Amino acid sequence: PAPLRLWVTMPGSLGRWLRTARHLQPRQLAGQVRLRLRGPRAPRPASEGAPPLALRAPSVPFLPDPPYAWCDGARRFRLRHREVVFPDRIDWDYADAGPLWAFDLHGFDWARRPALAPGARRALLLDWIARHPDGVGWSPHPLSLRAVTWLRLLLTPGAFGADEGARQSILASLGAQLDHLASNLETHLLANHYLSNLLALTLAGVALEGPGAAGWLRHERLLRAELAEQVPADGLHVERSPMYHALLL
**pLDDT tens by residue, 97-139:** 999 999 999 999 999 999 999 999 999 999 999 999 999 999 9
Residues 6 or more apart from 133 whose CB is under 8 A from it? Answer: 43, 45
Residue 78, beta-bridge partner list: 70, 83
Output the pTM of the full model.
0.85
Residues 6 or more apart from 86 whose CB is under 8 A from it? Answer: 75, 76, 77, 94
Residues of the chain with pLDDT under 50: 6-7
pLDDT at residue 6 in the model: 47
Give the up-direction half-sphere exposure of residue 103: CA atoms within 13 A in the CB hemisphere: 11
> 71 vs 75, 86, 98, CA distance in Å?
8, 11, 18
pLDDT at residue 47 in the model: 62
> 39 vs 33, 76, 248, CA distance in Å?
10, 34, 29
Read out DSSP for 136-204? Answer: GGGSHHHHHHHHHHHHHHHTSTTTTTT-HHHHHHHHHHHHHHHHHHHTS--TTT-HHHHHHHHHHHHHH
